[in-house]
Structure 1
């Protein structure tokens, strides 16, 4: 009977060892499964991010593919506008030429709008905005608040909301006060 009990104990011990080994093995496999699932989720998230970035890059490429070309056209627009500014609208001798320049400029501006190339609209007295304006000079002004636009040298432009060229402007500053002299 003692012999049978020893055999039963050995079988029981073997079963316990096997159960402990199985529990350890199951725990190890569960950890590996959790790690694999985590890695799978990370890879899926990375893939989604790559796909989203690629879509954004394609969208930006479509929006801003004309950027260099548009930038090269700005001096032409400037020249047409300067020609109109410098010509006398009352001079009958150049009226046909002036009308031709106005029509050409109008067609040019309409085409620019179709491709979302827009002039930065400036009115005198607007506050200076460093994101859209480039200050070329400062000038004292009694009429305007400091840091207001006095004059526009050159228009600025945006392509699809992105700054293509800042507007070159003269900015107002507070007048220097003359200190009273003390003559006694």
Structure 2
């Protein structure tokens, strides 16, 4: 045998079984389908993770808002817990002021009593001021419907229209909130 015959014979012996194209395509197709399925599962899992993260962020924000609102409610409760009590003290303050205004200050016999009432009024005013109760005296200020109650309007050329010219009853505020508006007379333009 010569060398060429040996070569041909070796090639025939080594020649592997031919691969059918359908087998390769079916393996590739199955593998591709598995990859597509896994990618779809991954995308669904990622979308689920994003949704859960957003839900967690919303829950944390809602809890923070709830905590903040509760703190504000507690703060308001502390600030305005005395509102009813302060409202009950207002007539006492008014009566002490009226007693001083109407007292005969010329009478020597009444002077000690008037001084006692004045001291009581000052002591009461300073005590309630410590808790945030302050008198509103809007004389010569612009009329504010949130803090004043207009009892009458009087034509006046001396002051600008809508200016408070007299206070009939003092108003009071507790920690910045009006608990009783001041009863006032308001100037209007002269016809």
TM-score between the two structures when normalised by the length of structure 2: 0.87
Residue 169 (structure 1) aligned with residue 175 (structure 2): no
Residue 54 (structure 1) aligned with residue 70 (structure 2): yes
Within 2, Cα distance between the matches of 1:80 and 1:2? 118
Within 1, Cα distance between the matches of 2:18 and 2:44? 38
User: Deviations 1:18-43 (Å, cap 9, x if unpaired)?
Assistant: 00100111111111111011111111
Within 2, Cα distance between the matches of 1:9 and 1:127? 91
Q: 1:28 to 1:2 in 2, by over 3 A?
A: farther
Give the aligned CA root-mean-square deviation in angstroms.
1.3
Alignment of 1:135-150 (within 5 A): 135-150=150-165
Residue 102 (structure 1) aligned with residue 87 (structure 2): no
Within 2, Cα distance between the matches of 1:90 and 1:122? 30
Partner SS state of residue 151, structure 2: strand
What is the Cα deviation at residue 9 of structure 1? 2.3
Report how many residues are paired: 175
User: Deviations 1:122-161 (Å, cap 9, x if unpaired)?
Assistant: 33x2221112111001112222221111110100111001
What is the Cα deviation at residue 2 of structure 1? 5.5
TM-score between the two structures when normalised by the length of structure 1: 0.90
What is the Cα deviation at residue 88 of structure 1? 1.9
What corresponds to 1:72 in structure 2?
Answer: 88
- Structure 2 gaps of 5+ residues are 1-16
Within 2, Cα distance between the matches of 1:86 and 1:12? 108
What corresponds to 2:106 in structure 1?
Answer: 90
Partner SS state of residue 103, structure 1: helix
Whether the 8 Å contact between 2:137 and 2:167 is mirrored in structure 1 is no
Choose which of 39, 54, 60 in structure 2 pairs with 1:38. Answer: 54
Residue 6 (structure 1) aligned with residue 19 (structure 2): no
